[in-house]
Amino acid sequence: MQVLQVQLEIGPDPAEVGRARRWARSRLARSGLGDEPLADTLVLLISELVTNAVVHTGCPAVLRILFGAGPGDKDTVRVEVADASAVPPRPRRADGDDTNGRGLELVDGLADRWGWTAEGAGKAIWCEIDRCPAAPAPRRAPAARPAFGRDPLGPLRATAG
């Protein structure tokens, strides 16, 4: 299976999150994922990972999208955000009124897998979503026909009454 990788350099500015979302949506559309619900999920995951990199590290980052990166026959899309900070991600528990602190919890709930790896002097946080192949249209079973000479409602008629 061939793997296609695209990447975008991101500056340490919160405005870069919107640029990353627009860039990702255009790349997903070019790959044929633009109209799939999967694209919305991937853009949300990208938004969360890029936001974490920009807000929590203050460093430039690199967003990578890898198409066809799954193990075996899986058609997987992998998202990676690498930054220069060696501090590992730390999931937090947000209270009901908190306006932040739910990013990695969201990633955990939406992605099939996620984690982080050391990369150079920094790290890369990644997540993967397995694409399900389009299911073939269900075949309609032929209508059931009673055996010749038998009344399909016979047992019901005998007890009705």
What are the tens digits of pLDDT across the range 57-71? 888 999 999 988 665
**Which pTM value belongs to this model?**
0.74
Nearest to 116 by CA among 106, 126, 108: 126
Is a pLDDT exceeding 90 seen at residue 49? yes
Domains and CATH numbers, the chain: 4-134 (3.30.565.10)
Tokens 């399909």 label which residue?
152
What are the tens digits of pLDDT across the range 19-31? 999 999 999 999 8
d(CA 41, CA 70): 17
Label residue 94 by pLDDT band (50, 70, 90).
low
What are the tens digits of pLDDT across the range 71-81? 555 688 999 99
Cα angle value 122/123/128 (rounded, 5°): 160
